[in-house]
Structures are given as structure tokens and as C-alpha cells.
Amino acid sequence: MPLRLAVLSASRIVKEFLDHAAEMPELTLAALCCRPESEAKGRALAQKAGIPRLYTGEAEMYAAGGFDAVYIGTANHLHAAAARRALAAGYHVMLEKPFTPTAAEARELFALAEQKGLLLFEAITTPYLPGYRFLQAELPKIGPVRGALANFSARSARYDDYLRGVWNTTFDPACYGGALYDMNVYNLHFFYGLLGAPQSAEYRPTRGKNGIDTAGTALLQYPDFCAAALAAKDSGAPQFALVQGENGCLVLHGGTNSVDAVYSVVNGARTEGPAPARHRMAYEFAEFARILAEHDAPAAAAARRRTLAVMDLLEPLRPY
């Protein structure tokens, strides 16, 4: 039976999800909730996606019910409060990245979910993609790791507005915008799932006029090597990731959010990884639905550990 899902927000990431939701048989879209000032936009999204009910208030949607879980795609600084309300109302939650502004808030939310007997899940695409799982399986073959690089950069459509002084959440420190939280979080999940937690980390940002990190490189120090993770919202370049070892390397052509084209080279022999057969967001939603349907507590616990480990890494790097 498909998971009955309500969607909170009419943001860009929600629009991308709704554009591909018909390709996700694991889900049934039951409701959409947006701000009153976004009602026209929300209505258009709901009609296009075939969502039967539109709300402009969370309390009204939660009281009406008719769904099992809520996907939250609000602006970064609203994540924690929105997830808290959904859990308090008795619904499972899938919360967009970056999960919460602080690791303490993440732990608070997981504690609330446990208290309520609910699941709380981070909507982070990387760990569930077939290409990424190929890289995890190939990693032992390349021998001791000696270095790693990732670049996930794309000039934001809102960067020109920022330069002109037009406010938007993407480049506002108070809204937890910037390259680290919006984009480098994918690189951090990419490296954590392959290499584990680093011994230490530092962040070297490129700062905008209000102190926001328009770009930045996270340096992750492991016992025997360093990994460098670059992300930018003020410029673009070919996206890639590379992990190299004594016997070979793992290569990604593309972003760490989609892991589209991957291969390994081991002792000179190249092996191609699988290309995704579905939209990148389909895999995370399919796994969330499966965990709920099968009551897979170990998988839910593993996802929670991963989210908390990345939050413990991400928060101290924040440059504002």
C-alpha cells in the first residue's frame, strides 16, 4: 500500500519533487500546505500534481489528517520548528537537508520522534542512489585511501539579486543559507558514507558582503589523508568527486547530490557503475516508504546515526 504523504511548502525543491512524484508508485500525495501569500502558487502545484487538498495553515492540515507522513521542504531556518509541529501532531516526517541549523536541534527532534513512536528521516539523496552504493562496494578494492576531492558548484539563480541587494533566504546568514549548508552538505554526506567521520575539519569560506559564504572548501583530515570538499553558489564548474587509493580510484562525473556517472579503476581495470533509472529523489522516498512499511528499525537507526554524524561535522564549520 503506498505511503500517504502530505507536503509542506511550495518551494523550489518541493516543485522538483512534485514534478516527478508521479514516477514514485511508493507514494500517494494527499495534501499540500503553503503560506497564505503563496496560495496561488500552491494551488497551481497541487492541480498539476493531482493533489486533492490544499491548505494554507499547518494546524488545519494536521487536524484534517488523511495521511501518514509529512515531507517538509521549507527554507532552511524553518526546518526544525516545522518538523517539531508535524511530529507533535502525530505524523512521520521527511525533512529536507540541511536537516536542522544545529546538532542539538537534530537530537531534540529525534528524541521527540522516539517519544511519539514516529520516524524522522533526512531527505538527503546521496546515500540511497545506486551509483553511490556502487562506490561504497568498490571502495575496499582501491586499497588504502590517500586523498579525496569533490566539487559541487553551481552559480545560484539568486546570486545576481544578492549582488543587487535584493534579499533572499539563499544568501542570508539568519536563514542558514550559503554554500556550506545548501550545497557542501551533499559533499559531506558523500565523504562520510565512504570514509567515515574525519579526525578534524576546517572550513575556508569565500565571504559575501554580509558575511555569507558564497563559496567555500571544507578540509576533512583523516589519519592518513585529507579530503577537500568545494561548493559554490557564486560560480560554476564541472562537478565531480574522486577518491584515490594505492590500488586505484573511484570517480564521479556530476554532482554529489545525484551521483549519475560513476566508475572505479582497480589495478588498471575500469568498472562502470550503474546509471540511475529514476529521478534522484525517488530513491530516498522509496526507502522512507519501505522502512515505514516494513518497520525496519535497524535501517531507521542507521539513517539517524548518519544524519547526526553529518550534523556534528557541519555545525562547527558554519562561518557565521
Among the listed residues 132, 125, 142, 78, the one whose alpha carbon sits nearest the alpha carbon of residue 105: 78
Domain-by-domain residue ranges, the chain?
Answer: 3-123+281-300, 127-277
Q: Name the CATH superfamily housing domain 3-123+281-300.
A: NAD(P)-binding Rossmann-like Domain (3.40.50.720)
pLDDT in tens, 32-83: 999 999 999 999 999 999 999 999 999 999 999 999 999 999 999 999 999 9
pLDDT score at 198: 98
The DSSP call for residue 209 is T
Do the bridges between strand 69-72 and strand 53-55 make them parallel or antiparallel, or are there none, so unpaired? unpaired
Same CATH topology for 3-123+281-300 and 127-277? Answer: no
State the average pLDDT over residues 94-102: 97
pLDDT at 63: 98
- DSSP 3-state of 51: coil
pLDDT band at residue 194 under the 50/70/90 scheme: very high
Which amino acid is present at 42? G
Give pLDDT, residue 318: 96
Adjacent-strand bridge partners of 218: 203, 229
* Burial group, residue 215, by CB count within 10 angstroms (0-12, 13-18, 19+): buried
Q: Report the distance separating Cα 306 and Cα 192, nearest Å.
A: 8
Q: What is the pLDDT of residue 316?
A: 96
Q: Which pLDDT does position 286 carry in this prediction?
A: 98
Mention every residue, 6+ apart, whose C-beta is less than 8 A from residue 316. Answer: 201
Q: What is the pTM (predicted TM-score) of this model? A: 0.96
Per-residue model confidence (pLDDT) at position 228? 98
Q: What is the pLDDT of residue 45?
A: 97
Does domain 127-277 fall under CATH 3.30.565.10? My reply is: no
Mean pLDDT along residues 138-142:
98
pLDDT at 188: 98
Q: How confident is the model at residue 167 (pLDDT cuts 50, 70, 90)?
A: very high
pLDDT band at 235 (very low <50, low <70, confident <90, very high): very high
